[in-house]
Every structure is written in C-alpha cells, then in structure tokens.
Amino acid sequence: MIKLRILFLPVFLLFLLCGCIQTLHKTPVSQDADYLPAQISDSDSAESIEKVNHKNQKSIQQDGDYLPAQTSTPDFAKPPEKVAPKDKKPSPIDPLVAEKNIAENSSPEKKIQPIFDEALVFCQASQDFWQKGELENAIEALDHAYSLILEIDNNDIPELIQQKEDLRFMISKRILEIYASRNIVVNGNHNAIPMVMNKHIQNEINSFTKKGEKKFFVESYKRSGKYRPKIVSALKEAGLPVELSWLPLIESGFKVNALSKARALGLWQFIPSTGYKFGLKRNKYIDGRLDPVKSTKAAIEYLSELHHIFGDWTTVLAAYNCGEGKVLRVIRNQNINYLDNFWDLYERLPQETARYVPRFMATLHIIKNLEKYGLDSIPVDKPLEYEIINVSKQVHLRNVAKKIGVTEKTLRKLNPELRYRILPKDNYPLRVPSGKGQVLLAKLDEIPVSHPPQRAYVYHRIKSGESLSTIARRYRCSMRSIMRANNLRRSSFIIAGKKLKIPRRGTIVYRSKKYNKIKYANTSSHVVKSGDSLWIIAKQYGTTTKKIRELNNLSTTNLHIGQVLKIRERKEDRPAGEYLKTYLVKRGDSPFKIAQLHKMPLEQFLHINRLTPRNKIYPGQRLYVE
C-alpha cells in the first residue's frame, strides 16, 4: 500500500505539471508589460511628423520607414522561421531627427523662389518708373533685378533654368524698350521713331545720294506718289508712326510686283506663310500680297504685333525683315551682359538685316532734307484714283477694258492681285477708273466668260508596284506621252518614290531637243572615280562597254578607284567614209540649210563638225553629214 502511494504521487505531480503547461500556452502574454515598447500606430506617427513640420508638403512617407512596427508577443507555438527578421524592424524615431531629415530633403525651389519674386518686384517697379518718365530709376531697377538672377544657382533643375532664362529675357527686352524711348519721352510720344545718326546710317545716305543706288532711290521716290497717301492714312488710323510709310521704298522700291530671292512678294514683301497669317489670300485667281491696300493692312497688323513684342521701332524693323524668331534668338543667346539698344544688336544680325535698319533711317533723313541732298526737284506720280464695282462674273480684264473704253494696262495697275487677269466667280470688288463704274454695269452682260489657263502637267509620285501602263490608264493618257514628257527610253525604267510629269488631256508633248553630248572630246584615257561603272564611262566617251573591256583586257566589269582605262576613239573622230558622209559646201549654204537638207538636227550637225553657231562656213569646205 505504501509502495502504491509512493508511485501515485509522482504520477499525480506529472499530470498537474502538464495541466499547468497547457494553461500557460492558451493564455496570451500581456502587451502592457514593462519590458515591451509602447505600441505606435501609423496615424499617431503621421500626427507627430506633421507637428514637426506642418508646412512641408513633401514630408516623409507614412509607410513606416522611420516608425517601429506594431510590437506583439511572439507565439511560442509557431515555428521560429516565421518570425520577422530583426534587420527589417525599423527603430523608433526621434522627433528632432525627423525634423532634420525633412529639412535636408526639402526642395531647393523654396530657397530660390523668394529671389525670383524679388527680381519680379524690381521689374514691375522699373515699368512704373518708365511710365512716369524716370528712365534712370527704371534702368537701375532692372540692373538690380538682373544682378539677383545672376546669383541664383539653379542646381541643374529644368524648371529653375527655364524660369531664370525667361526672366533674363524679359529684362533684356525691357532694357531695349527703355533705351529706345530716351529720345522720345520728352515729347510724350512713345510711338515715334527716334532719328539717330551714326556711321552706318551715313554710309547708306551716301549710297542713296552720291553712289550707285541714287537712280534706285529717285525712281522709287517717284513711284511713292501712287501709293503713299493711302498708306499714310491707314497708319494714322492705326496710331502708328507715319514714317513707316517709307518702308516700301526699302522693301520693294514701291513696286507692287517686286519679288525677292526668298519668294517675298509685293510692296511690303510678304512671304506666303506670313501673308496667310495676316489674311492675304492666295489661290488660283488672286494673290493678296500684290494688292497695295490689302498688303498695307496686313503690314500694319504685323508691325503692331512686333511692337508689342519688342517695344522699340528699330528692333521692330529688324524683326520685320528677318523674322521675330531670329531677333529673339539673338537676344536670348547673350551670355551675361544684356543688349542696351538696337545698335548693340546690330553687330549680331545677318548682314542683309543689319543694313536694313540703317537704310530705312537714311531714307528718313533724306526725305526730311531733300533740298540738302539735291533731290527736291523730283516729281512724284499722282495717286491712283478709282471706284470699286462688285462683279460676280468670271471675265478677263482685256474684255472689260474694251467695253469701258480704257486700256488693259490701266486695269492691271488698279487690280495687280489678279494672277491671270481674270476675275473670280464670286463677288469681286473690281477697281475701275473714276466714272467708268456705271458703264461697266451696263455692258457687263455683253462681256464673255473667261477661264484661267490649266497647267499643262500634273505630277504623280510613283508607288511601289505601279507600272507606266497603270499610271497612264489612271490619268487617261498614253504611255508614249508620259515617256516623252519625262525623257524615258524604256517604259520599265521607273522608280518608286520618284515623281513623273503627267501631261493633261489636250497637251501636245514634243520630243526633247536635247541630245546626249559626248562629255570628253579628245581624251584617250579615264581614271576611275567613286561611282563610276563601265556603262557610265562608255556613255561619257561615246563608246560601248564591250569595246572598253576588249581594249583593256578586262575579264569582268569590276573596277577599282584610281584604275586607268584606255578609251577608244570617238565615232566622230573616225575617217568620214567609215561612219559619216562628206558634203561640199556651195555658195549660199548655211549650217541650218545643210542640216535641213540631210534631215539632221542643227545641234548634231554643229557638234560633229566642231562648229559653234558663230562659226562661218565657206564654199568648197568639206563638212560631215549623217
């Protein structure tokens, strides 16, 4: 019995111990224990960071980078490998450390922006000073603004670089505007053109009054009487300086049909794109750039726009000549010192534009002192007088002139924008001499309808897979006419991407009179160059590839650069009896008659006899004929 009791006691204690362990596993450890860190939630951490720096919108992210993860008691029943590694648990954050990190990571834009703001304030102050007439204070304010932006270190940030460049550019334009207004602010007229004199202007005055361009100036001054009165009236109405009415003298010599190398046309020399921008239409019937009234209106709009950009008439004139983009690039591409006035800009402009402004200023000086330069006795043409009649019929000026009793030349001068001298179908305002309007309306039904000429050719870009026959069917013409128009020898010799001239129906295509001339007359050898081939060389020297290969013992057609080839004599240099016949010149013969007699082109006859059109032939002379 005692032995049983002794055995029962350990067993009981063992069961008791197992029960305690099981109870211990089911009871979680308290999270309020002193030895565990306090639980920090994501929302609490966000509030603490916002309190440290509530103005910084680019604060550190609230994803727990600087915050401790939520502390929890490890589960003893779980395997140890599922416990998060220690290196991934961030340490708790110190508020002072967070403030330091935020300050270090803040954008440099916040430090630089006050400098930009201060520079803008000085620019506005400069504008106020300028409007009050205090030019020195205005310039000093801009100087200070410019010194501020020079101190800015943009740290290669694109936004700051662009902002700095824009501000520097604006200051440069303001400087030009203020310096230009120095000569005119006394009179209170900011739209006047300053009359300056320097060596560049004096050179142009001498050219117009003493040297080779005096005739051009005198003739242009005479023509100015036709158009200038209406130009002056339009400038006054727009509030622009009337001195600009002399700009067409420099642009076109007051010729309405003047055409420049850059395809600028008319009194005011508009290129097509600029003319279209300011309402000058160009179609099959009219070109608004040729009309003096319409082009004057467009020029006034363009000059006004340029004056709003630059504020300085001398710079405006330069931009009118070469385009505002080029002038703006010259201003923008300066390094440190800004351009004070146009004459600083002068040295950096293209030569043609650089002379343009001095020529205009020289014109103003001459016009205001005609007696001084001996030009006061030049008569000017009378202004054009006309009345406008709206015509809705497509008629030719020649037929209109016959019906109203004037010359066609008179109507052409009044209506220079009509490209083919034919009115459009729509309601067109036709200018006729004064007193002829009612005559035209009474006889309008008697005038026949006219049509502008059609283009003889259209152009077709060859597409892949097309043949000459398909192209001919598409345009309803023959293959032979296309081949003649494009000097094609074979119908298969067309290349995708190239353009073909397609004759329109009714167009007669003649065979080209150009013959393939032999390039070299007395050459017996040829040095192979890059791009040469036997076929090209044979063509140049009037022989065949077979003969060249035989003469040079070539087994293949391969050539190498620098190779010297022997060239057989030309056909024309052979004895006459072998290839050509001879003709004995008789009295009264001429190269033309001999060529016609033997049905030869004159050019070919002269070529084989080594004659030029100026050479003379004599009776008894022997000449080669085919």
Query: At residue 168, what are phi and psi to the nearest 5 degrees?
Result: -65, -40
Query: At residue 581, what are phi and psi to the nearest 5 degrees?
Result: -100, 160
From the list 251, 572, 603, 626, the catalytic residue is 251
| Model pLDDT for residues 449-485, shown as the tens digit of each residue | 998 887 778 899 999 889 899 999 998 888 888 888 8
What is the span of the domain harbouring residue 616?
Answer: 576-625
Alpha-carbon distance 385 to 299, whole Å? Answer: 22
User: Has residue 379 been placed in a domain?
Assistant: no
| Model pLDDT for residues 384-415, shown as the tens digit of each residue | 999 999 999 999 999 999 999 999 999 999 99
| Lowest-confidence region among 10-19, 118-127, 289-298, 441-450 | 10-19
User: Has residue 374 been placed in a domain?
Assistant: no
User: Has residue 63 been placed in a domain?
Assistant: yes
| Lowest-confidence region among 135-149, 349-363, 496-510, 561-575 | 561-575
Estimate to the nearest angstrom the gap between the alpha carbon of 69 and the chain centroid. 62
Judged against a pLDDT cut of 70, whether residue 139 lies above it is answered with yes
Please give the pLDDT value at position 155. 64
Please give the pLDDT value at position 89. 43
Q: Are residues 240 and 350 in the same domain?
A: yes
Alpha-carbon distance 401 to 407, whole Å? Answer: 6
446 noted as active-site residue: no
**Strand 428-433 with 564-566, pairing:** unpaired
| Model pLDDT for residues 73-111, shown as the tens digit of each residue | 334 334 444 444 444 444 444 544 444 444 444 556 667
Please give the pLDDT value at position 599. 82
**Strand 622-625 with 581-584, pairing:** antiparallel
Tokens encoding 21:
């362990």
User: Has residue 612 been placed in a domain?
Assistant: yes
Q: Which of 357, 377, 69 is nearest to 365 (CA)?
A: 357
Q: How many CB atoms lie within 10 A of CB 198?
A: 11
Please give the pLDDT value at position 330. 73
Residues contacting 234, CB < 8 A, separation 6+: 296, 297, 300
Q: Are residues 356 and 217 in the same domain?
A: yes
Residues contacting 139, CB < 8 A, separation 6+: 126, 175, 178
Alpha-carbon distance 270 to 273, whole Å? Answer: 8
Q: Please, how many CA atoms are within 13 Å of residue 558, restricted to the half-sphere of its CB?
A: 2
Domain with residue 590: its CATH number is 3.10.350.10
Q: Are residues 290 and 167 in the same domain?
A: no
pLDDT average, residue stretch 33-55: 39
Q: Are residues 209 and 258 in the same domain?
A: yes
**Cβ(44)–Cβ(65) below 8 Å:** no
| Lowest-confidence region among 228-232, 322-326, 589-593 | 322-326
Q: Are residues 344 and 329 in the same domain?
A: yes
Judged against a pLDDT cut of 70, whether residue 188 lies above it is answered with no
**Cβ(82)–Cβ(101) below 8 Å:** no
Choose the most confident range, by mean pLDDT, from 17-26, 430-439, 607-616: 430-439
pLDDT average, residue stretch 293-307: 93
Q: What are the contacts of 476-485 at 24+ separation with CB within 8 A?
A: 476/505, 477/502, 477/503, 477/504, 477/505, 481/507, 481/509, 484/509, 484/510, 484/511, 484/512, 485/457, 485/509
User: Has residue 514 been placed in a domain?
Assistant: no
Please give the pLDDT value at position 517. 44
**Cβ(251)–Cβ(357) below 8 Å:** no
User: Has residue 497 been placed in a domain?
Assistant: yes
Judged against a pLDDT cut of 50, whether residue 30 lies above it is answered with no
Judged against a pLDDT cut of 90, whether residue 243 lies above it is answered with yes
Q: Are residues 163 and 206 in the same domain?
A: no
Q: How many domains does the chain have?
A: 7
Alpha-carbon distance 202 to 531, whole Å? Answer: 55
Alpha-carbon distance 168 to 47, whole Å? Answer: 43
Q: Are residues 208 and 292 in the same domain?
A: yes
Instruction: Name the β-bridge partners of 560.
Output: none
Percent with pLDDT over 90 in the chain: 27
Token pair 């298969």 is found at 492
Domain with residue 364: its CATH number is 1.10.530.10
Q: Are residues 582 and 545 in the same domain?
A: no
Please give the pLDDT value at position 262. 81
Q: How confident is the model at residue 9 (pLDDT cuts 50, 70, 90)?
A: low
Estimate to the nearest angstrom the gap between the alpha carbon of 255 and the chain centroid. 27
Choose the most confident range, by mean pLDDT, from 7-11, 192-196, 349-353, 444-448: 444-448
Q: Are residues 569 and 584 in the same domain?
A: no
| Model pLDDT for residues 365-378, shown as the tens digit of each residue | 999 999 999 888 89
Q: What is the DSSP string of 139-167?
A: HHHHHHHHHHHHT---TT-HHHHHHHHHH
Residues contacting 584, CB < 8 A, separation 6+: 620, 621, 622
Judged against a pLDDT cut of 60, whether residue 422 lies above it is answered with yes
pLDDT average, residue stretch 582-592: 84
Q: Which of 158, 183, 208 is the last residue of a domain?
A: 183
434 φψ region: left (φ > 0), alpha (ψ -120 to 50), beta (else)? beta
Alpha-carbon distance 161 to 152, whole Å? Answer: 10
Q: Are residues 258 and 305 in the same domain?
A: yes
Q: Please, how many CA atoms are within 13 Å of residue 376, restricted to the half-sphere of its CB?
A: 7
Residues contacting 115, CB < 8 A, separation 6+: 148, 149, 151, 152
User: Has residue 69 been placed in a domain?
Assistant: yes
Q: Are residues 236 and 361 in the same domain?
A: yes
User: Has residue 595 been placed in a domain?
Assistant: yes
Helix (H, G, I), strand (E, B) or coil at 378: coil
The chain-wide mean pLDDT, for the chain, equals 75
Q: Are residues 305 and 435 in the same domain?
A: no
